[in-house]
């Protein structure tokens, strides 16, 4: 059984005797004031451009969120009434519940699949290069094409998947007509189109881990499971948290995946917050409440990203 001290030595690439890789040279140096000024003036135009591009829409959206208007007029000032009405709406909380489920399944489902495939690709498999290209197809193919293909596979009783159930003597389920099955299909579809991204992130992180770490762990008697849970996962933790942040943002803001597959139905069972905001603004023509929903989504994403960013800093210190 590998001890805690052995694990700590292995992470540093040290064997039982204490020998290992020499420490990296300390390259930290203080920048001169002139260099700092140069960097500042080089970055200043880009920062101003980003503020103008993103700042104006944000300010305009904040103004609309406090007015009872439509797409063609600002309307009267109502303060925080739009936020109060949104937070007291059952539709909002139902959409928030589905968004939470969709995000959790999308993030951790795609991460588990991507992690498994990334570990598989580190081994020698036949036609490995071709296999890697094929695994990227769900991410490379436009979501319009993917959603059309999935819709064709499951949408009607004469689609291939329901026909397969019928051939096995099982009553064909209505995947996109039943609220529960529709929600499951949307979540599975999100995992399908997202796992290549997680696979690439994990593969790049695994490639940065020195092989001597595993050699030292093997010498200390660590099993494959111990190497994975106590060496691999901690060493790629920073990349993992970054991928979780990005995928959380992708899932919460994901409009086409849901809207193209189910349109938010049936009976709003797959309506996420971004779909609800779209419907409120562009179908119900209630700009204020729709923008208020978008602001609440943004605040939630900022909080989640801050929490995960702290984990990134913590993992960087520990490693």
Q: pLDDT digit string (tens) for 162-176?
A: 888 888 888 888 888
Residue 10 · residue 3 · CB < 8 Å: no
184: CB partners within 8 A, 6+ apart: none
For residue 254, the 8-state DSSP code is -
- Is the model's pLDDT at 59 over the cut of 80? yes
Assigned domain for 135 exists = yes
Mean pLDDT of the chain, nearest integer: 84
pLDDT of residue 23: 47
Least confident of 44-48, 63-67, 121-125, 292-296: 121-125
- Is the model's pLDDT at 64 over the cut of 80? yes
pTM for this model (two decimals): 0.82
Host domain of residue 103 = 83-318
Between 273 and 231, name the one with better pLDDT. 273
pLDDT of residue 162: 86
Question: Is the peptide bond prior to 161 cis by the omega test (within 30 degrees of 0)?
Answer: no
Mean pLDDT confidence for 154-158: 83
Assigned domain for 25 exists = no
Residue 282 · residue 294 · CB < 8 Å: no
Angstrom distance (rounded) from CA 65 to CA 295: 8
Assigned domain for 302 exists = yes
Assigned domain for 215 exists = yes
Assigned domain for 201 exists = yes
- Is the model's pLDDT at 294 over the cut of 50? yes
Closest of 2, 23, 22 to residue 219, by C-alpha: 2
- Is the model's pLDDT at 11 over the cut of 60? no
pLDDT of residue 93: 95
In terms of Cβ atoms closer than 10 Å to its own Cβ (0-12, 13-18, 19+), residue 275 is buried
Look at the chain and report how many structural domains it folds into.
1
pLDDT of residue 5: 56
Classified as helix, coil or strand, 313 is helix
pLDDT band at 311 (very low <50, low <70, confident <90, very high): confident
Assigned domain for 53 exists = no
Assigned domain for 241 exists = yes
Assigned domain for 10 exists = no
The pLDDT tens digits for 115-140 are 999 988 888 777 777 888 888 888 88
Q: The domain spanning residue 143 has which CATH number?
A: 1.10.3720.10
- Is the model's pLDDT at 305 over the cut of 90? no
pLDDT band at 1 (very low <50, low <70, confident <90, very high): low
């Amino acid at each position: 059984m590998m001890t805690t001290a052995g694990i700590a030595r292995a992470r540093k690439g040290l064997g039982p005797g204490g020998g290992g890789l020499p420490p990296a040279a300390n390259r930290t140096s203080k920048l001169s004031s002139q260099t700092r000024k140069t960097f500042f003036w080089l970055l200043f135009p880009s920062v101003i451009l980003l503020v103008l591009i993103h700042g104006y829409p944000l300010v305009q959206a904040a103004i609309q969120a406090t007015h009872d208007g439509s797409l063609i007029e600002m309307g009267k000032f109502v303060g925080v009434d739009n936020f109060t009405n949104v937070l007291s709406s059952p539709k909002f909380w139902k959409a928030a519940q589905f968004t939470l489920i969709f995000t959790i399944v999308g993030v951790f489902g795609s991460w588990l699949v991507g992690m498994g495939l990334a570990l598989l690709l580190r081994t020698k498999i036949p036609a490995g290069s071709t296999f890697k290209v094929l695994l990227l197809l769900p991410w490379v193919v436009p979501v319009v094409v993917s959603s059309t293909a999935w819709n064709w596979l499951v949408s009607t009783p004469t689609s291939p998947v329901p026909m397969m159930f019928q051939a096995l003597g099982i009553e064909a389920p209505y995947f996109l007509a039943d609220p529960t099955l529709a929600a499951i299909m949307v979540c599975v579809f999100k995992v399908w189109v997202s796992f290549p991204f997680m696979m690439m992130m994990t593969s790049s992180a695994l490639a940065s881990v020195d092989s001597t770490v595993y050699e030292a762990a093997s010498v200390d008697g660590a099993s494959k499971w111990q190497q994975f849970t106590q060496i691999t996962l901690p060493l790629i933790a920073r990349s993992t948290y970054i991928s979780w942040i990005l995928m959380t943002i992708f899932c919460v803001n994901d409009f086409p995946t849901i809207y193209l597959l189910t349109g938010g139905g049936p009976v709003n069972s797959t309506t996420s917050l971004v779909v609800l905001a779209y419907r409120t603004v562009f179908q119900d023509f209630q700009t204020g409440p729709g923008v208020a929903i978008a602001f609440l989504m943004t605040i939630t994403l900022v909080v989640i990203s801050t929490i995960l960013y702290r984990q990134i800093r913590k993992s960087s210190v520990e490693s």
